[in-house]
Chain A
Amino acid sequence: MKKAVTISMVVFSLAAGLWLGLSSLGMKWPGVDEAVVEKFAREANRPPQKRFIDMDQGDLLLFFFLAAGAAGGFVGGYFFRELFPPKSRRSSQDA
């Protein structure tokens, strides 16, 4: 538990430092799909079309990103514990 808290604090500090550093550069940070793929497609007169299911409305996309992150994190964490159990659980199983 202590290790998890320490790791969380290190990750949070790194993320905050990264955010401060990157925001000071004054760049717009477009995704490469937009900056390269869609740019070349527009130049060739094949711009992207509207999606069949358009989630990019207000905060809806943010909601889906968070939901996907939470679901993916849960699934990953669940199987991770099954494959890499804590040392205490492994040693009791071995005994």
Chain B
Amino acid sequence: MHISEGILPASWAGLWFLAAVPFLAWGLRDLRVRSVTNLQFKPLVGLVGAAVFIISCMPIPVPTAGTCSHMCGTGLAAILIGPALTVVITSVALVLQALFLAHGGLTTLGADIMSMGVAGAFAGYGIFHLSQRLRLPWFVGAFLAGMLSDWATYGVTSFELATALAGDGSLKTMFVAISLAFVPTQLPLGIFEGLISAGAYRFVRVRRPELLAALQKGNAR
């Protein structure tokens, strides 16, 4: 989902930047407020940030497609530290990847933050809490959060590309074509990300249930 330098016209690149700014401001405020009440919050943000950085730049071969792609880690991050703060750590990861790892670009940073940070985090967080309201088992919620955050990220990336590249053609046709091109790789990888998210959530649930309880109070803020 990393959109390379120069693919988006300046107008679209600027628009995606502007759209990402309020979420970043919300996330920074969230960090300041919650780290006062929960002393273990900053270490957890550091751990989740490192995980998102590594997960989102690690190419995984997908034999069904013959291509490599990466998971995002934002669904898991969102159910642990909340969606707004996930946008902040995703932004830091994306800046480092654009600067040093030839992943994404600086001019396309706003679009990448919107797809991986905002769409991924809010889709994962939303589906996890919906599944809790529906009284589904926790592992179903965590699995769906990981899987749907991955698919939401690539869905929004398809939309961003379609709006910039459709030109005089049909936006819908371009969106469908790009989305379908992602399917062979992201369909299995999204399921894999769901399993990883459920496994990681289980680990925290078993080892530090009190940490999870404190986090969920903060996330509901």
Contact = CB atoms under 8 A, between A and B. Distances in A.
Interface of A: 18, 22, 25, 27-33, 35-41, 43-44, 46-53, 55-56, 61, 64-65, 67-69, 72-73, 75-76, 78-80, 82-84
A68 B43 contact: no
Interface residues of B, number: 51
Contacts of B66: 25, 27-29
A61 B49 CA distance: 22
A82 B43 contact: yes
B165 A76 contact: no
Nearest to A23: B61
Interface stretch (B15-23, B101-109, B120-128, B139-147): B101-109
Contact of B67 (A35, A38, A49, A79): A35
A51 B63 contact: no
Interface in B34-85: 40, 43-44, 46-47, 49-51, 53-54, 57, 59, 61, 63, 66-69
Given A37-B2, A68-B100, A29 B54 contact: no
A76 B51 contact: yes
Nearest to B50: A76
B136 interface: no
Given A51-B102, A55-B100, A83-B47, A46 B165 contact: yes
B98 to A, nearest CB: 8
B124 to A, nearest CB: 20
Most buried by B among A38, A41, A64, A79: A79
Contacts of B7: 37-38, 41, 46-48
B137 interface: no
9 contacts: A33-B4, A47-B7, A49-B6, A49-B105, A50-B5, A51-B105, A72-B53, A76-B51, A79-B44
